């Protein structure tokens, strides 16, 4: 860990008023071809405001990664010994020289400390500037680009440069070359006026025999409508009540003006969880996020996530973060600010908090290829910081099968975005980040892989060691030449796990609706993880933290701890996609959770379990 003198040097470097100086020669930092599906129109308005986000290198990130894997590996004697906020920050804080030189560069353009903001570890610098100044600083030209299919617009450039002497001190600057279109992941969403009849119709049918379920059976109604009771039965969690005495919490992220409605939550509780009536959750607003409680403004995604995550884990305290901002904007006189991906705004906020929920669910993503590699890697590094502090992060794997996230295969455009327009499967980010747990989807009882479950292999992140055994086994099942050139067999494999992902009974604007998508699977699996954390904390054990090394270790040693899904496929890009099969597969990962078995495993001291 860094000494006090280093911290003092960094602190002094952040407040020094640098003497303005000329930038000198510039060096090209990043250049991309014109992005596919976007049309460049007029030059960006000179007074349009851009919030530049400047990343300084994290010289000791490799050390942070080492710590992360050691405290997340059930075979390691440091398992569960998560780092503090201060310890994590000390490992990602930039060198004082980098801070000083970037300060000097900004000051040369009239940007001093009072006009800047910084991330908790000082590894990001944010400054709002007009387009004219951004163009001067980065020796580039910004234009308004319009997405052909949606009509959404962004102010972006396809290349930028920085002063040559800063090349080793600035990792990236955005928004510049990022043409992503963040979206929530839901494949079906429809108001069902006959929902009451649909839910009640199968009540007389005999229960479905499922040996791994609580009591060995699941209500027949669960093949038409998924409720909290269905999930508790199916995932062997009936009868477990989490404790509120040991600090366990669960968090849900909300983006794209999605508001979780309290009145709808009470309707949901009255319908499915009456013991939770009159309870609620904490809403935290980030980056101009809102909390519109007008019933007609309720968000389907936000309601789905909060109702099922908090319904599964009641009475565990819950937090819903409403984060403002999105990359696309309409360039008019009302909207004058262009923003980065709101993941980073959320990350800056939560990393600054001394205490974090132990499990967090996110149901939003971009096509991996639309996010610049430098930016994706830095965001992924932010997720690693949360994991090192003991937080489990779940992301839905996508709703386009092996395609680009479009639910309708006929609308998928499975082409590379690098100017070659080559046919390629399209993984999503952040699920492709190796430091998060990607959640795929299933349907019906007995469970099969749901056709839209996103899955495949990252083109950006290499396969992590914790996946090597399971994924290699799967790849050996493929016939030689299967989908050759369409995916990267050496990439980080998606997803890691799965859960039910369709026919969820949610209340929206006062009415029951049916919602599906891996956006339902993520909060469901997160709820199970939260219950596991409650069981561990009650035993005096630390929270699970970064899950993946443990998930794959358990699956290898006790496959019955996850319900292996062996039926189904995830078509996309004009192909049948991959098949669900024994063991790990790129549709459902290692399978869906058996809470009862997992609880028995994770409440033991791993280091003293024979064979583990």
Catalytic residue among 119, 458, 519, 530: 519
560 CB-near residues (< 8 Å, 6+ apart): 212, 594, 597
Render the burial of 514-553: b for 16+ CB within 10 Å, e for the rest: bbbbbbbbbbbbbbbbbbbbbbbbeeebebbbbbbbbbbb
Give, as one character, the DSSP assignment of residue 594. Answer: -
Is the separation of the CB atoms in 56 and 381 below 8 Å?
A: no
Which 3-state string (H, E, C) describes 281-311? CEEEEECCCCCCCCHHHCCHHHHHHHHHHHH
Parallel, antiparallel, or unpaired: how do β-strands 359-362 and 392-396 relate?
Answer: parallel
Question: Is 210 flagged in the annotation as binding?
Answer: no
The strand pairing partners of 497, in sequence order, are 439
Render the burial of 254-277: b for 16+ CB within 10 Å, e for the rest: bbbebbbbbebbbbbbebbbeebe
Q: Classify 82 as helix, strand or coil.
A: coil
Parallel, antiparallel, or unpaired: how do β-strands 124-130 and 188-191 relate?
Answer: unpaired
Please confirm, yes or no, whether 305 is among the known catalytic residues. Answer: yes
Name which of 186, 568, 566 is nearest 398 in CA terms: 186
Catalytic residue among 301, 348, 447, 502: 301
Please confirm, yes or no, whether 161 is among the known catalytic residues. Answer: no
Parallel, antiparallel, or unpaired: how do β-strands 282-286 and 364-367 relate?
Answer: unpaired
Q: How many CB atoms lie within 10 A of CB 592?
A: 27
Residues comprising the chain, all counted: 612
Catalytic residue among 89, 305, 341, 399: 305
Greatest pairwise CA separation for the chain in angstroms: 80
The strand pairing partners of 563, in sequence order, are 592
Determine the Cα–Cα distance for residues 187 and 164; give it in Å rounded to an integer. 47
Question: Is 564 flagged in the annotation as binding?
Answer: yes
Parallel, antiparallel, or unpaired: how do β-strands 153-156 and 143-147 relate?
Answer: antiparallel
Is the separation of the CB atoms in 516 and 451 below 8 Å?
A: no
Is the separation of the CB atoms in 147 and 331 below 8 Å?
A: no
Question: Is 247 flagged in the annotation as binding?
Answer: no
Question: Is 565 flagged in the annotation as binding?
Answer: yes
Residue 590 CA from chain centroid, whole number = 19
Determine the Cα–Cα distance for residues 334 and 27; give it in Å rounded to an integer. 35
The strand pairing partners of 585, in sequence order, are 589
Please confirm, yes or no, whether 152 is among the known catalytic residues. Answer: no
20 CB-near residues (< 8 Å, 6+ apart): 107, 108, 109, 110
Residue 514 CA from chain centroid, whole number = 23
CA-to-CA separations, 135 to 117, 143, 331, in angstroms, rounded:
20, 11, 18
Determine the Cα–Cα distance for residues 306 and 319; give it in Å rounded to an integer. 9
Is the separation of the CB atoms in 99 and 10 below 8 Å?
A: yes
Active centre residues (catalytic): 301, 305, 519
Binding site residue list: 564-565, 583, 585
Binding site residue list for Ca(2+): 564-565, 583, 585
């Amino acid at each position: 860990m860094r000494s006090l003198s280093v911290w003092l040097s960094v602190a002094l470097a952040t407040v020094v008023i640098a003497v303005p100086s000329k930038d000198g020669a510039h060096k090209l930092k990043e250049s991309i071809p014109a992005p596919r599906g976007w049309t460049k129109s007029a030059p960006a308005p000179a007074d349009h405001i851009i919030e530049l986000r400047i990343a300084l290198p994290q010289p000791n990130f490799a050390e942070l990664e080492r710590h992360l894997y050691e405290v997340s590996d059930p075979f390691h004697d440091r398992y569960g010994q998560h780092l503090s906020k201060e310890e994590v920050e000390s490992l990602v804080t930039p060198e004082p020289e980098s801070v000083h030189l970037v300060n000097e560069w900004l000051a040369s353009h009239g940007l001093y400390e009072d006009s800047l903001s910084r991330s908790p570890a000082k590894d990001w610098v944010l400054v709002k500037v007009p387009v004219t100044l951004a163009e001067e600083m980065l020796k580039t030209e910004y234009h308004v680009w319009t997405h052909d299919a949606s009509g959404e617009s962004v102010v972006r450039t396809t290349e930028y440069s920085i002063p040559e002497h800063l090349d080793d001190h600035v990792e990236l600057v955005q928004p510049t070359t990022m043409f992503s279109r963040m979206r929530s992941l839901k494949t079906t969403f429809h108001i069902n006026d006959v929902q009451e009849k649909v839910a009640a119709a199968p009540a007389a049918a005999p229960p479905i025999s499922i040996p791994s379920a609580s009591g060995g059976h699941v209500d027949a109604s669960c093949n038409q409508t998924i409720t909290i009771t269905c999930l508790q039965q199916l995932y062997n969690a009936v009868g477990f009540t989490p404790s509120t005495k040991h600090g366990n919490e669960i968090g849900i992220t909300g983006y794209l003006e999605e508001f979780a409605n309290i009145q709808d939550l009470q309707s949901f509780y009255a319908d499915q969880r009456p013991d939770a009536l009159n309870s609620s959750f904490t809403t935290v607003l980030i980056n101009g996020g809102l909390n519109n409680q007008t019933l007609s403004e309720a968000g389907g995604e936000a309601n789905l996530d909060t109702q099922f995550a908090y319904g599964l884990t009641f009475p565990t305290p819950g937090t819903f973060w409403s984060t403002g901002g999105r990359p696309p904007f309409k360039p008019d006189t009302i909207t004058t600010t262009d923003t980065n991906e709101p993941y980073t705004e959320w990350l800056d906020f939560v990393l600054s908090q001394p205490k974090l929920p132990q499990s967090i669910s996110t149901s939003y993503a971009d096509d991996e290829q639309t996010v610049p590699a430098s930016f994706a890697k830095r965001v992924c590094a932010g997720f690693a910081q949360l994991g090192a502090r003991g937080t489990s992060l779940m992301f839905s794997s996508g709703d386009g099968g092996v395609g680009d996230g479009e639910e309708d295969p006929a609308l998928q455009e499975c082409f590379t975005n690098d100017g070659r327009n080559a046919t390629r499967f399209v993984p999503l980010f952040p699920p492709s980040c190796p430091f998060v747990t990607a959640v795929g989807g299933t349907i019906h009882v007995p469970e099969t892989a749901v056709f839209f479950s996103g899955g495949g292999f990252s083109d950006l992140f290499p396969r992590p060691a914790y996946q090597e055994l399971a994924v290699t086994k799967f790849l050996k099942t493929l016939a030689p030449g299967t989908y050759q050139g369409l995916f990267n067999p050496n990439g980080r494999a998606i997803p890691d796990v799965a859960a039910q992902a369709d026919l969820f009974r949610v209340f929206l604007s006062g009415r029951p609706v049916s919602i599906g998508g891996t956006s339902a699977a993520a909060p469901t699996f997160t709820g199970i993880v939260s219950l596991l954390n409650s069981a561990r904390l009650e035993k005096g054990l630390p929270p699970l933290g970064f899950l993946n090394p443990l998930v794959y270790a358990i699956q290898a040693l006790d496959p019955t701890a996850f319900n292996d899904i062996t039926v189904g496929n995830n078509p996309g890009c004009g192909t049948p996609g991959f098949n669900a099969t024994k063991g790990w597969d790129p549709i459902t990962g290692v399978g869906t959770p058996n809470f009862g078995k997992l609880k028995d495993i994770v409440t033991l001291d791993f280091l003293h379990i024979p064979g583990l």
